[in-house]
Structure 1
Amino acid sequence: MNRPIRFLLLLLILASCSKPVKTNFYMPAEWEPHDAVWLGWEEAHLTYHPVVFKMIGALMPHVQVKISANSDSLLRVAKRILSEQSIDTTRIKFYVHPSDRYWIRDHGAAYLVNSKGELGVADFSWNSYGFPYWLQEKFDNNMDSVKKYFNPERTKKLGQVDSLMAVAEHATRLSTWVVHEGGAIEVNGQGTLILCEATVFDRNPGKSKEALEPEFKRVLGVENIIWMKKGLADDPKHFFRRIVDNYVGGGTGGHTDEFVRFANPHTIMLAWVEEREKDLNPINKMNYERMSENLKILEAARDLDGEPFNIVKVPLPDLAARKIVARVNVDDSPTTLDVRLRSFKPSEAPHAGDTLLRVPASSYMNYLVTNGVVLLPTYTATGSSREKEERVRKIFEEQFPGREIIFIDALPLNWSGGGMHCSTQQQPAVGKH
């Protein structure tokens, strides 16, 4: 074979290999069958453990539990601690991935399925919740300070976890340049995705909806995107933020799993502050205004058939603000909620000795639904209305009929800006969608 013909054949082979393969992968809705639910294990945050024990105990009768940790030695610690709680670790599958974070939904795999019964993973890019941009904002673009506090190697390792989870489950990986976290993905399994502008644009500065939407549609297998404006006020971007007045907190900056969730393909649940509660405190007022704007968007939204969605308002728990003190140095005891002055950006920083009101990212919307059960946070122990929580129970019983509703006090997670949904990741059952 002469050289020109050989060269043409090579070009044809390369061209055929470069064509995108039509996979038909999509993300199923969370209420569809699961093969497993994943959790991370983070040694440093022992205050999480009582919540984790209850979650695992509630999940094990219904679904395979999988736990990912940063090393073999840490997994041995996890097995020992779980065994001390009478949890049968032989029924849990353990994995080692380069992750020193508990919140596996955000940096871990977003699992997909296709019509062939194959498993896929949407491999989004990762930048630690826009941390470099937050540091630039905090230090007024002083790049020396940004380099001092930003660890690109750790971020790179965390960004590999979703692809390693794909390898562990022999899943096809659909990678994208879009930076996004799992707690900000909400789908109905029938072509519609809900996103929040506040987080998407923060993680992808300079990118437009026109540039972002095709990638979300490609890797998640959706055709229709509904854009919320802002998330809850008590879920501000990063730690620590002065939210309003003396109220401070930290979080993701607007993850959807804090305030808007599909209950079924045609029903959307929205976190809500009632009219009579909106003036009880500044946080309530901010949430009332934000959710009212989001409600208008949802009321105007349509599904793929052009039909409107049924909107269900889910009450937010009563605000669980706790008085704390701003200090130059804070004891690293896991029980303290006091804050360091240097954790704030200068324009929001309190003075040493100031009394502040720290708020957790508390919401009934940060629930997990899996086979036969819904894990739902409870807030009556911290003073929230029992009557309100009973209304929430009835809403969830109506929206998830036939599933057991299990209330778990997840406040230790809320103080760190997340909840039970943030700290888990469902793995869909292939061939059952």
Structure 2
Amino acid sequence: MTQWTMPAEGAPQDKVWMAYPVKGYSLGDTDSARDEARRTWAAVAHAVLDFEPVTMIVDPGEISVARQYLSADIDIVEAPLNDAWARDIGPTFVLGDDGRLGAVDWIFNGWGAASWAQWDKDQHVGKLIAELSGAELIASPMINEGGGIQVDGDGTVLVTESVQLGEGRNSLWSKTEVEAELSRTIGADRAIWLPHGLTRDNEKFGTRGHVDIVAAMPSPGVVLVHDQQNPDHPDFEVSARIKALIAEAEPGWEIIGVPAPTVLTDDEGPVDYSYINHLVVNDGVIACSFDDPNDARAAAILSEVYPGRTVTAVDARPLFERGGGVHCITQQQPASR
């Protein structure tokens, strides 16, 4: 029986998968909003393309306009879409103990059957990408999204109670059952449970707790944590609690706080702007920027924890306005043998 393991994001990759914005809230209702979304998704794709190939899933109705924004070097695959968050609607890639590529197809139900979400098309994207990549499909009965897990490649996974055990997902499961499924599918033998994600992400239009905006493990024994340093923001207490929980769970770990951007609010309330939501690629890191004084500080930290990689920043404000970041719209495919 094959033992599957999800590699660390810094492991060698063959390509990155993305999905292009389609009619709906992510694309926007005005010409300027639609242009902003298309340019931002394209900017991330082109930043990745400097390091490795990119395949973009594009809805049939968006093919012609997508070609106006995307380089000819980006491979386009036509398929129906509800939305554009490839991390969540796509599969989670794993490697077998024999080097084969596998793809875990979680059950996707619109982030816990959120009242505003549609997923009749997106629920099939995981299987589609698995087929296109040539990976062995690993079907899972667990409702989950790629943004809801972070691994170190050495058996540890970060999860949140509000996602894996949350209402609309796997509320009838126990932690033991979740951990057993994560062991079977991604080879995790150690789960660190955080209570929830950032404040904005736990509101109506959020994912209700994705960990990839809160913490990341650049290497075993090292964890980056979103560090809101302003006590006027509700995530000040969230950051402190998460750092304390990780320190208690893993006393020997190095916990590195990545300062949150200095901006605290937008028209909707407290922001969840985070530098944690970056993507590691071959020889590079695609980072979020916010035209903020802390952009440079965050880039310096990422350069230090991912030595030898070039940090490329993309303005992520249009992504966060729509509910995510750089990591949320990308899904890496590890190199297999």
TM-score in same-fold range (> 0.5):
yes
Q: State the Cα distance separating 1:320 from its structure 2 match.
A: 4.5
- 1:236-251 aligned within 5 A: 236-239=202-205, 251=206
Q: Which of the residues 218, 228, 235 maps onto 2:184?
A: 218
Contact persistence 1:41–1:100 (CA under 8 A): no
The residue that corresponds to 1:301 in the other structure is: 249
The Cα shift of 1:425 comes to 0.5
- Alpha-carbon distance between aligned partners in 1 of 2:176 and 2:48, rounded to the nearest angstrom: 40
Larger radius of gyration: 1
Assess if the C-alpha contact under 8 Å between 2:2 and 2:97 holds in 1.
no
8 A contact 1:301–1:309 mirrored in 2: no
Q: In structure 2, the residue corresponding to 1:390 is in which secondary structure? A: helix
Q: 1:259 offset after TM fit, Å?
A: 0.8
- How far residue 114 of structure 1 moved from its aligned partner, in angstroms, is 1.7
Within the candidate set 50, 67, 81, 1:79 is matched to 67
Shift in Å, 1:176: 1.4
SS of aligned partner of 1:124:
strand
| 2:305 corresponding residue in structure 1 | 399
Instruction: Give the SS at the match of 1:190.
Output: coil
TM-superposed deviation, 1:81 = 3.1
Moved more, 186-195 or 41-50: 41-50
Report the Cα distance in structure 2 between the residues aligned to 1:297 and 1:36, rounded to whole angstroms.
34
Q: Which residue is 2:158 aligned to?
A: 194
Task: Quote the residue 1:317 is aligned against.
Answer: 261
Residue aligning to 2:147: 183
Rounded to whole Å, the distance in 2 between the matches of 1:414 and 1:56 is 17
> Is residue 368 from structure 1 mapped to residue 279 from structure 2 by the alignment?
yes
Counterpart of 1:391 in 2: which secondary structure? helix
Cα distance, 1:197 vs structure 2:
0.8
Q: Paired residue for 1:27?
A: 6
Partners in 1 of 2:63 and 2:97 — Cα distance? 35
Question: Structure 1 49/98 Cα, relative in aligned 2: closer, same or farther at 3 Å?
Answer: closer
1:270 corresponds, among 216, 225, 232, to 225
- Aligned to 2:175, which of 209, 214, 217? 209
Picking from 405, 415, 421, the partner of 2:327 is 421
Which is further off, 31-40 or 289-298? Answer: 289-298
Q: Structure 2, unaligned stretches of length 5 or more? A: 28-33
Q: What CA distance in whole angstroms lies between the structure 1 residues aligned with 2:121 and 2:42?
A: 27
Contact 1:103 1:422 in 2 (8 A): yes
Q: Which one is further off, 364-373 or 389-398? A: 389-398
Matched pairs, number? 325
Q: 3-state SS of the aligned residue for 2:8?
A: coil
1:31-430 alignment to 2 at 5 Å? 31-44=10-23, 45=27, 46=34, 47-71=36-60, 73-82=61-70, 87=71, 89=72, 91-131=73-113, 134-135=114-115, 155-202=119-166, 203-239=169-205, 251-274=206-229, 277-278=230-231, 281=232, 284=233, 286-302=234-250, 308-323=252-267, 357-380=268-291, 384=292, 386=293, 388-430=294-336
**Equivalent residue number for residue 31 of structure 2:** none
Deviations 1:255-275 (A, max 9, x none): 11111001112211001123x
Offset at 1:234?
2.0
CA contact (8 A) 2:260 2:275 kept: yes
Q: Identity of paired residues, percent?
A: 29
Q: Deviations over 1:335-379 (max 9, x none)?
A: xxxxxxxxxxxxxxxxxxxxxx43443111111110111111112
Secondary structure at the aligned position of 2:171 is classed as coil
The residue type paired with residue 162 of structure 1 is G
- Quote the Cα distance in structure 1 between the aligned partners of 2:6 and 2:103: 9
Partner-residue secondary structure (3-state), 1:31: coil
Contact 2:290–2:315 (CA<8 Å) still a contact in 1? yes
3-state secondary structure, aligned to 1:75: helix
For residues 53 and 97 of structure 1, the distance between their equivalents in structure 2, rounded to whole angstroms, comes to 18
Matched residues in 2 for 1:125 and 1:311: separation? 32
* SS of structure 2 residue aligned to 1:159: helix
Deviation string, structure 1 residues 356-410 (Cα, Å, up to 9, x no partner): x434431111111101111111122xxx3x2x33322221111011111111111
- Aligned residue for 1:235, secondary structure, equals helix
Counterpart of 1:422 in 2: which secondary structure? Answer: helix
Q: Are the equivalent residues in 2 in contact too, given 1:360–1:416 (CA < 8 A)?
A: no
Task: Name the amino acid aligned to 1:177.
Answer: P
3-state SS, counterpart of residue 4 of structure 2:
coil
Distance in 1 (alpha carbons) for counterparts of 2:79 and 2:245 = 39
Matched to 1:167, the amino acid is: E
Which deviations, in whole Å up to 9, do the C-alpha atoms of 1:230-278 show, x marking residues without a partner?
Answer: 2111212433xxxxxxxxxxx211111111001112211001123xx21
Q: 1:69 Cα deviation (Å)? A: 1.9
The worse-fitting range, judged by mean Cα deviation, of 197-206 and 180-189 is: 197-206
| Alignment check: 8 A CA contact 2:20 2:38 kept | no
CA distance in 2 between partners of 1:48 and 1:93 (Å): 19
Q: Root-mean-square deviation (CA), in Å? A: 1.8
Question: Which amino acid in 1 is paired with 2:68?
Answer: R
